[in-house]
Amino acid sequence: MEFALSEEQEILSDSVKKMLADNTDIDLLRNHSKGDEGIRESLRKLVVEMGLPGLLIPEEYGGSGLGVLEASLIAEEFGRYAVPTPWIGNSVMAPTALLFEKGNILSEKWLPLIASGEITACVALTEAVGKRSNAGLELKGSKVSGTSIFGIDGELNPRIIITVAGDDLILVDTKNPGVTISEIPTIDSTRPVVEIIFESVDAEIIPGGKKAIQKTIDVGRVLLAADIFGASSNMIDKAVEYSLERKQFNRTIGSFQAVKHMCAEMAADLEPCRSLLWYAAYAQDNISEEASLLSCHTKAHLSEVGQDIARVSTQVFGGMGFTDLLGIHYWFKRIGLNRQILGGPEKVRQEAAKIQGFLT
């Protein structure tokens, strides 16, 4: 049995990596953080040109019909380059929700538009992970009212919003009156989240109920873990590169045993996560009985490992690591936001314990 990527998967990963390497750099991230909104849209156009929004969408709807494993490979590269444009919510979680039950009318209507890049989708499932006193939705008949927070990929005027009201997964067309979307500031300037206020807005129920909600969350957690993996890999690479250039006492700091150990331990902590991540991504499409548990384990473990790598790699840079001159804070903060979206390590470990019968 082959426990490695196929040639096609490697080509996909390499192609995305090359596209991002050619079109993103630290100056782009700085300009984006200063308010250059055109960067989001220009990068989205490149993503659309590569057909990435349709990655999970079946060919009958204009997509590629690939799986969560392929999506995780792309998410890893998005994390590696801290790409400031929609991806996980629009291209992965939204199609996952709409495809939970095959052949429904909503899939036929919206999936071709997502695949072509004609529209973007925002996904806001925080209420299904942990309710907040100042948020929550109420569905009365076909009308939804309330506030949904921490929406993913809502920064580019999304055409549809997928969220939860009680046990229902619902879809709202933002062209309907009564929808207000505003960005919520977070530590991560590369990917804003949004707050959505609904004032008696027409909504449609996506078939699948609780199971569809859980499936969408599971896939989202795996993709966030992949983003952490890519961001962590980049921080290690940058720390090693810096240690081979920076000199103290006429020696590169990378020649000091303490720094060598820091870099080696980071690499040793991260590399085993690769197989866990790939297996969790594969399970989402192929091993349904393990999918939820693996998504919890992967999200929790990568969140902890990523946090440690963000801290230690910053220490390798010394005082320079806290400045904007090198810019490694973009990845440090991205890992921090990934850690909390769709549940922090404590929350998802609790869910894993319940799945295994350790808690009731």
**Which residue ranges make up each domain of the chain?**
7-116, 121-209, 211-355
Residues of the chain with pLDDT under 70: 1-2
pTM attached to this predicted model: 0.96
pLDDT for 2: 65
What's the fold here for domain 121-209? Answer: Butyryl-CoA Dehydrogenase, subunit A; domain 2 (2.40.110)
Strand, helix or coil at 143? strand
Q: What are residue 164's phi and psi, to 5 degrees? A: -125, 140
Contact 92, 73 (CB under 8 A): no
Task: Give the count of beta carbons closer than 10 Å to the beta carbon of residue 304.
Answer: 16
- CATH architecture entry for 211-355: Up-down Bundle (1.20)
Rounded to whole angstroms, how far apart are CA atoms 289 and 266?
Answer: 32
Rounded to whole angstroms, how far apart are CA atoms 115 and 107?
Answer: 11
Q: What are residue 180's phi and psi, to 5 degrees? A: -125, 125
Rounded to whole angstroms, how far apart are CA atoms 67 and 164?
Answer: 24
- CATH architecture entry for 7-116: Orthogonal Bundle (1.10)
DSSP letters for 45-59:
HHHHHTTGGGSSS-G
122 strand-pairing partners = 161
Contact 96, 152 (CB under 8 A): no
Rounded to whole angstroms, how far apart are CA atoms 321 and 327?
Answer: 8
pLDDT for 132: 78
pLDDT for 311: 96
